[in-house]
Amino acid sequence: MVSAALFAILMAAGTQELIIPEGTILPVILNETLNTAKLQDNDPVLLTLAEDVRAAGHRGPILIPRGSDVVARVVQSERAGHLIGRAALDMHIQEIVTPAGVVYDGLSAKIIDAAKKKGEKGEVKADGAIQGPVHRVRDTFLLVFPPTTLIQLISLPKRGPDVVLPVETRLYVKLMSPIYVDTPVAASAISVPQPVSVPRSIPQVSPLLTPAALEVLVAPVAIYPDAVLRDLFVACTHTSQLVQASQWVHQPRDAAGNLPAIGYNPLWDQSVHAMTAYPDVLQRLTSDIDWTTKLGLAFSAQPSEVVGEVQRIRAQTYSLQAPSVQAVGVVH
């Protein structure tokens, strides 16, 4: 029965997109304030991916999770002139680094929009550069009173305003070339973690579970990527925190797409923090707390056996569907 279920899951997974196509819009958030008065060419800029990037629209599996680091570099930072010109800021996205450490570099992308507060001026040009506000006082002064003497030049207003993007400004980046997402290796070996320290509220499993019982527990998550399973198994030993985290990530977002601060707990275990990047997985874990608790107990008492069962299920499943797996680009 379990093998049949896994067979169906794999068939569905075989049709999913493993490429983030050209033209995809990635919303990112600045981790620092940018100001053309302080920036220099080649300065690094750190941003954060604001939303999950999914296959097949918004309902497919997560290809790159929100919270991934986005690294850009300034290629042009110009201040406005005293007489003419507007400030300009151009930066190129270089790479994306996921929480699991997967790096997508050599990107071709450009900024197409910057979320501005009401009343702010400036715009994103067609080439992706951000152009600063006009200097209406200076430009009007020059139009009405063209300078003809040195005194008039000295009395001109100061240079035009700089491009200033406050921290947490949301930018929208358009991919100009596709990103090929790394796929999990069929029947790949997960490194065996050290035994987990389990809270006193969760008793140890005794007696140890049989291979058949472990198969039932592990089968629903066995074909998840290794990077997810490493955190998932540990997070299952913190079920109360998982429930809180799931409630937090499924709250309505504000107009900027951000989750409210209410409900977030910085004291959650690191594994639970990592799972907030996968709202659908969190919902699956918290929809059946009894199963999640048993999975956490099994991993605490028998980590090697749990990992071994994952490898066995993967080997059996992918061997049944080897042609399909190869068709979607699984790396051997």
Q: Please state which of the ranges 85-89, 132-136, 218-222 shows the lowest mean pLDDT.
A: 132-136
Angle, CA 13 vertex, CA 313 and CA 209 arms, to 5°: 25
pLDDT at 194: 47
pLDDT at 233: 93
Listed in sequence order, the residues at least 6 apart from 153 whose beta carbon sits closer than 8 Å to its beta carbon are 147
pTM for this entry: 0.46
Q: Please state which of the ranges 123-132, 203-212, 229-238, 318-327 shows the lowest mean pLDDT.
A: 318-327
pLDDT at 184: 47
d(CA 300, CA 45): 41
Q: Retrieve residue 147's tokens.
A: 């300078």
- The DSSP code sequence of 66-134 is TT-EEEEEEEEEEPPPSSS---EEEEEEEEEE-TT--EEES--EEEEEE---TT---EE-TTSPEEPPP
Q: Where in the chain is the domain with CATH 2.40.128?
A: 19-180
Q: What is the DSSP secondary structure assignment for residue 80, as one 8-state letter?
A: P
pLDDT at 4: 45
pLDDT at 188: 38
pLDDT at 135: 61
Per the prediction, the chain carries an average pLDDT of 75
Asked: is 19-180 a CATH 3.40.50 domain? The reply is no
Q: Please state which of the ranges 39-43, 193-197, 219-223, 271-275 shows the lowest mean pLDDT.
A: 193-197
Mean pLDDT of 245-258: 85
Q: Please state which of the ranges 14-28, 212-226, 232-246 shows the lowest mean pLDDT.
A: 14-28
